[in-house]
Structure 1
Amino acid sequence: MSMEYKFPEGFWWGSATSATQIEGAANEGGKGENIWDHWFQTEPNRFFENVGPETTSDFYHWYKTDIQLMKEIGHNSFRMSISWSRLIPGGRGEVNQEAVSFYNRVIDELIANDIEPFVNLFHFDMPLALQKEGGWENREVTDAFEVYAQEAFRLFGDRVKKWFTFNEPIVPVEGGYLYDFHYPNVVDGKRAAQVAYHTMIAHAKAVRAFRKSQAKDGTVGIILNLTPSYPRSQHPADLKAARIADLFFNRSFLDPAVLGYYPQELAELLREHGQLPETKQSDKALLESGKVDMLGVNYYQPRRVKAKEHMPNLHGPFMPDWFFDNYEMPGRKMNPYRGWEIYEKGMYDIMMNLKKNYHNIPSFISENGMGVQDEARFAVDGEIQDDYRIDFIQEHLKWLHQAIEEGCNAKGYHLWTFMDNWSWMNAYKNRYGFLSVDLDTQERTMKKSAHWFSVVSKNNGF
C-alpha cells in the first residue's frame, strides 16, 4: 500500500491523559484531597449528571490491561500526569509510599511494553491544603511545587526522560479566576494575572530543579493549548482584536516558556488597566532560566475574533473580552456535539508560527481530539464506528505533515485520549477515547479508530 503521508523516523504515536481524569481511587492508596474532590463534595450539581472524580476510569486498578491495549494499538509513547495530592497528600511534607509504588509500577509497565512515558507534573489538580493557602495566588505555593518537582525527578527521573511542568496553564486562570468554570470560582482580573504569573514562576523553579536532577539528561517542557486567533477581516480594528486575544490566551505563557520573557505589549496593557501582578526583581533571571527544551501543543479549535461591537462595562470585572468579541464565521465546519469549530489548518498555522517566531523549538501535538455525546448509538456488533474521529485525526495529520515538509520541528501526535475519561465539569458527557469505557463494568472496548490508528502507527503514516 502506498504511503501518501509518511512521517519522520521515530515519530511519537500515542495518546494523553491526566491523573484526576483516569486514575479514580480518589480516596484510596493514601491520596490527599485535591480541589476537584472538594468541589464535587460541595457542589455536585455543577458536574454533568452529578458524576464526580472518585472512580473515573479506574486506571489505578486497570493500568496493566490498559497498557497492554496501548501496545496493541501501536503506542510508542503515552502522556500521563502525576497527582500531586497522591504523591504528597498535603501538598508539602511526607511523600506517600503507596503512590510511589503505584507510579513506579505504571512507568515500569509502560517501558516493558516499549511505550515511552511522558510525565506531566500539574494538570489542574491543586492539593486542597495548598488551595486553602491561596493556591497559585500565594507565592509560597511555588516553592512547594519546586519541592514536589524535585521529588518526582528523584523518584522517577532514572526512567522517565520526557517531563512537563504544566498542562494548559491558562485554563486554571480562565476557569478559576475569570470565567467561573473551575474551583475556586473567583472572578477577578488582577488575581487572575497573579495566578498566571506565579504559575510561570513555579514552572521556572521546577525547570531549575530539573537541571540539577538525575533526569537532567532528558528533556523538560510545558504543554500549552495554542489557539490561533483569526480576525474577521483585515480591518485594523479586527487585526488589533486578534492580536490582543493572542496576547492574553497564547503569548502570556508561550513567550515566557520559550523565549524567557513576557511580551511588552501585554505588560503595558495590564499596567494601563491596573491589573499588573506583584513581581520580584530577581524574577527576570529566574524566568530566563526557565526556558523549555520542548513544547507540547494542544489544539482543538481556532479562536475567531472581531472588534468590539459595544463598549465594555468598565464597572464590571476586568476581562480579556474588553478588547475583542468572538466571531462566528459563516459556513464554518462544526463538531455538533461539543459546539466547537473544526479547522484542521489551525495546526499548520501554529507550527509555522513556532518555526518563525519561536526558534522552531522541538514540539509535538500533545492533544487533539473530538468529543462526541451518546457514542453508543454508533455501535455495530459492539464496536463504535467512529469514522468521524478517524476523519478528524486524518485531516489534522495531513496539515501536520505539511508543516513538517516545510521544515517545522514537529516530533509526534498524541490523541486526547486513550480511553474515555472523566472531563472536569462534563464528567462522561462527551467521549474522546480510542477505547470506550463501560461505566458500570469498567470494561474497555476498542472503537474503529483504535484499529485504524494501530495501522497508521505501524506504517508511520497513511
Structure 2
Amino acid sequence: MAQDTLTLPKDFLFGFATASYQIEGSTAASNRGPSIWDTFTHKDPSPIADGSSGYIATDSFRRWKSDIEFLRSYGANSYRFSISWSRIVPNGGRNDDVNQEGIKLYRDIIEELVRVGITPCVICFQAFGDLVKHWITHNEPWCISVLGYGHGVFAPGRSSNRERSAEGDSRTEPWIVSHNLILSHAYAVKMYREEFQKAQSGAIGITLDCVWYMPYDESSAERVEAAQRALDTRLGSFADPIYKGHYSASLVASLGDRLPKFTPEEVAIVQGSSDFFGLNNYTSNLTQPGGTDEFNGKIINGFVRPDGTRLGTQAHVPWLQSYPPGFRALLNYLWKTYNEPI
C-alpha cells in the first residue's frame, strides 16, 4: 500500500522545458527576422553581464535531433519549448506573411518528438494542431511585464525607474503590459476553443511563475499580510483575472487608477480562459514588509529564519534555495485559492 502511494500515475508527464532564444542560435538562418531579444542583447554597451547573445546559444537550430536524443536518454516523455515568432512571421505578422521554412523546422521537431514518444507542448494551432494537444499561450508573463518594462533587465529593456510612459507616469507601463498580456492570452484561447479545440481535442492554458512567499514570523500579523500581498501581486495579478474574473482587492488598493480596468465584455472572455493552472516554481522566500518594489508587493525577502537557521539548501545563484515544503505549500495554496488542475 505504501508503495502505491509513491507511484506516479501512468499519464504523468515528466520532461524538460526550453525557450527558443536561449537555445536555438542561427538567428538569421531560414529567413528568421530580428526579435526584441536580438535588439536588446546587441546594444552598446551590452546589458548582458558577459556580453553574450543568442547568436549561437546551444546551437539547437542545427542540433535539435541530438537534443531529442538527450531527452530520451533522461527518460523524458514531454518537452515544452517555445516558438520563435520571428522565425514564423519574420515581419511581425504584417501582410499575413508566414515563413514556411520556420514552419518546417518546428514541424520536423514535433514529428520527431511524437515518433519517439515525447509529448510536445507549444502554441501554433493551425500548423501543428494535428500533433500537439498541449498548448501554452504565454510563459511567465510577469517576467515580460516587470523585468522587461519595470526593471528593464529583460528585453525590450524599458525601465519604469528611468523612463516615462505616454500616460505621463512611467510606473503605469508595466501594468498596462500585464493587462494586455492577459487580454492577448484570453483572445488566443477564445480562438482556439471556437475554431480548433473540438477538432483537435487539445487543452490550452497559460503558465505563470511564482515563488512561495512565507511570513518571516507567523506570529506577526504584519508579516503574514506582507506574504499574502506578495502572492496577490506576483501571482494574483495574472491568476485572479483569469481564474476569478477580477484583480485582487489588495492590488486595486495599492495601484488605484494606475491599474487598467477590464470591460464587462473583456471579463467574459478573460475569466475561465485556461483549461489548467500552469505553474513554474523555483524557490521559497521568508517575507516581511519594508521593500520599495511595488512589483512584488513592497516586501523584503530572505532565506534566514529568526533563529538564524537557513530555509533550505543554497543553489549556485544567490536568489535560489531548494525548500521542498515550500513547493508543497504553494501547490496547496493554488488548489485552495483557484480550485484548478495544476
Is the pair's TM-score, using the shorter chain for normalization, greater than 0.5?
yes
What residue identity is the alignment partner of 2:216?
R
1:323 aligns with 2:298: yes
**Equivalent position to 2:146, from 174, 181, 200:** 174
CA RMSD of superposed structures (Å): 2.1
Determine which of 154, 162, 176 is the counterpart of 2:126: 154
Gaps of 5+ in 1: 122-151, 313-317, 364-462
Contact 2:211 2:284 in 1 (8 A): yes
User: Any idea what SS the aligned residue of 2:326 has?
Assistant: helix
Residues 374-453 of structure 1: pairs in structure 2 closer than 5 A:
none
One of 258, 270, 285 as aligned partner of 1:303 = 285
Local SS of the residue matching 1:303? strand
Is the Cα–Cα contact under 8 Å of residues 230 and 297 in structure 2 kept in the other structure?
Answer: no
Aligned to 1:40: 41
AA in 2 matched with 1:95: V
Contact in 2 for aligned 1:158/1:214 (Cα 8 Å): no
Q: Distance in 1 between matches of 2:54 and 2:37?
A: 7
Letter matched to residue 206 of structure 1: A
In 2, the alpha carbon distance for the partners of 1:73 and 1:319 equals 40
Map of 1:49-448 to 2, 5 A cutoff? 49-93=50-94, 94-119=97-122, 121=123, 152-182=124-154, 183-187=156-160, 188-216=170-198, 217-233=201-217, 234-271=219-256, 274-277=257-260, 279-288=262-271, 290-308=272-290, 319-320=294-295, 323-329=298-304, 330-332=308-310, 333-339=312-318, 340-359=320-339, 361-363=340-342
Q: For structure 1, which segment, 108-117 or 234-243, has the greater mean C-alpha deviation from structure 2 after superposition? A: 234-243
Give per-residue Cα distances to partners, 1:421-460, cap 9 Å, x unaligned.
xxxxxxxxxxxxxxxxxxxxxxxxxxxxxxxxxxxxxxxx
Amino acid aligned to 1:220: I
1:396 alignment counterpart: none
Q: Deviations over 1:391-436 (max 9, x none)?
A: xxxxxxxxxxxxxxxxxxxxxxxxxxxxxxxxxxxxxxxxxxxxxx
Gaps (5+ residues) in structure 2?
A: 161-169
**Contact in 2 for aligned 1:153/1:213 (Cα 8 Å):** no
* C-alpha deviation, 1:291, in angstroms: 2.1
Q: Which has the higher contact order (CA 8 A, sep 6+)?
A: 1
Q: Is the 8 A contact 2:233 2:296 kept in 1?
A: no
Partners of 2:88 and 2:185 in 1: CA distance: 18
Q: CA deviation at 1:20?
A: 0.9
Structure 1: distance between partners of 2:150 and 2:114: 40
Contact 1:229 1:304 (C-alpha < 8 Å) held by counterparts: yes
User: Partners of 2:5 and 2:263 in 1: how far apart?
Assistant: 53
Paired residue type of 2:324: E
Counterpart amino acid of 1:175? L
Q: Does the residue aligned with 1:212 lie in a helix, a strand or coil?
A: helix
Cα deviation digits, residues 189-246 of structure 1 (max 9, x gap): 2111111111100110110111023344110011111212111112121112112111
* Shift in Å, 1:279: 4.5
* Separation of aligned partners in 1, 2:112 and 2:129: 15
Q: How far did residue 296 of structure 1 move?
A: 2.1
| Contact 2:229–2:297 (CA under 8 A) maintained in structure 1 | no
Deviation track 1:315-365 (CA, whole Å, cap 9, x = no partner) reads: xxx734673222442322342521122211121112111222212x222xx
- Alignment TM-score, normalising by the size of structure 1: 0.65
Aligned-residue offset at 1:44: 5.4
Q: Hey, what's the Cα distance between the residues in 2 that align with 1:180 and 1:108?
A: 37
Which one is further off, 326-335 or 89-98?
A: 326-335
